[in-house]
Amino acid sequence: MHFAESIVDLIGNTPLVKLNHVTDGIAATVLVKLEYLNPGGSAKDRIATRIIDAAEREGKLKPGGTIVEPTSGNTGVGLALVAQQRGYRCIFVLPDKVGEDKINVLSAYGAEVVVTPTAVAPDSPESYYGVSDRLVREIPGAFKPDQFSNQNGPLSHYESTGPEIWRDTDGTVTHFVAGVGTGGTISGTGRYLREVSGDTVRIIGADPEGSVYSGGTGRPYLVEGVGEDFWPTAYDPTVPHEVLAVSDADAFAMTRRLAREEGILVGGSSGMAVVAALRAAAELGPDAVVVVLLPDGGRGYLGKIFNDKWLRSYGFSNAPSGHTVAELLA
Ligand code: PMP
């Protein structure tokens, strides 16, 4: 019989697949690592497991304990999934601008969700951070993972993502490209690949135009899950050799091409990372093996990146329009 003991045991060991169409004119091999094939649908399942394991070991989480985190996205799903299997209560604090779909996903896994108003000062007790801090203080046995400073985030990638890439490329990987959000993915995976290769693998970050990692001040951008307006300690700035800035327009256009031309339905931060990877790969020869990490799937973005009306409302002209029957029969 071949089965996993629990859903948590299926986290990691995601596959690599070669890009064949968007790489037209590029000599290097470009491989993408599909993190949406994790059970919770993103790379964040990896950090959730490592963060909860460490908190149990360190006595910060005890049986019956509660996990409290201000997160609306993939980290919440990862934490909810692992917490549920281990019998912990999960409370996520979300700003009211977050869409109902994201709230529904977290509730579906049995997490409790508290919605806080966006229109209050960040230091107000009603704010996103104010409410989560109060819940941690007042709920006995509460634990706040804090993915932006928790070193178990980068460590999970050092221990799993990095070794998987090295193993699956038979040690031939020459470049690794990943988007930077908390910085955990690039710092942990990049550090492992540099160490194991005798420091020959080149590590390239991808960042939304305007974010601090590529020299900006934190100007708003639309791509989700990446870029920052501060420097989290989960990010080790000595790991990447360079960080390339990518515009929303380029990121979204590539995200759509990945679905239409490669059959890979992923989120906008994945498109962004592929744009950076192809820019780097354009200068490389046929022996180069470029691995790009794609953090999550595209289903959570159907109303945005994959919606022509939404794209056009932000002035992105590359949204193809729908077809009429007459056009199809012409
Ligand atoms: N893409 C998406 C969709 C994410 O949710 C995240 C995590 N914030 C990232 C990319 C970036 O990963 P990391 O936080 O490890 O830098």
- Is 210's C-beta closer than 6 angstroms to any atom of ligand 1? no
CA-closest candidate to residue 256, choices 53, 22, 52, 77: 22
Say which residue the tokens 């692992």 belong to: 82
Residue 318's identity, in one-letter code, is N
- Is 77's C-beta closer than 6 angstroms to any atom of ligand 1? no
How far apart CA 146 and CA 136 sit, in angstroms, is 12
pLDDT tens digits in sequence order for the chain, 330 residues long: 999 999 999 999 999 999 999 999 999 999 999 999 999 999 999 999 999 999 999 999 999 999 999 887 899 999 999 999 999 999 999 888 777 888 899 999 999 999 988 788 878 888 888 899 999 999 999 999 999 999 999 999 999 999 999 999 999 999 999 999 999 999 999 999 999 999 999 999 999 999 999 999 887 889 999 999 889 999 999 999 999 999 999 999 999 999 999 999 999 999 999 999 999 999 999 999 999 999 999 999 999 999 999 999 999 875 556 677 887 887
How far apart CA 151 and CA 228 sit, in angstroms, is 18
pLDDT score at 71: 84
- Is 80's C-beta closer than 6 angstroms to any atom of ligand 1? no
Ligand 1 centroid from CA 102, angstroms: 16
Structure-token pair, residue 44: 């964040």
Atom 2 of ligand 1: nearest residue by CA position: 225
Interface confidence (ipTM) of the complex: 0.98
| Active-site position among 44, 102, 144, 304 | 44
CA-closest candidate to residue 189, choices 171, 224, 164, 167: 164
For helices 100-108 and 74-86, the axis angle rounded to 10 degrees is 20
Pick from 79, 161, 185 the residue to mutate for probing ligand 1's pocket: most ligand atoms within 8 Å of its CB: 185
| Ranges of H-type helices in the chain | 44-57, 74-86, 100-108, 128-138, 152-156, 162-168, 184-196, 248-262, 268-281, 308-313, 325-329
How far apart CA 28 and CA 14 sit, in angstroms, is 22
Ligand 1 centroid from CA 291, angstroms: 16
How far apart CA 286 and CA 25 sit, in angstroms, is 11
What is the DSSP pairing of strand 66-69 with strand 89-95? parallel
Per-residue 3-state assignment (H helix, E strand, C coil) for 215-284: CCCCCCCCCCCCCCCCCCCCCCCCCCCEEEEECHHHHHHHHHHHHHHHCCCECHHHHHHHHHHHHHHCCC
Rg of the chain on CA atoms, in Å: 20
- Is 232's C-beta closer than 6 angstroms to any atom of ligand 1? no
Say which residue the tokens 């609306």 belong to: 72
Ligand 1 centroid from CA 326, angstroms: 43
C-alpha 140 chain-centroid distance = 31
What distance, in Å, lies between the first and last C-alpha atoms of the chain?
A: 54
Respond yes or no: is residue 44 known to be catalytic: yes
- Is 207's C-beta closer than 6 angstroms to any atom of ligand 1? no
Ligand 1 centroid from CA 296, angstroms: 8
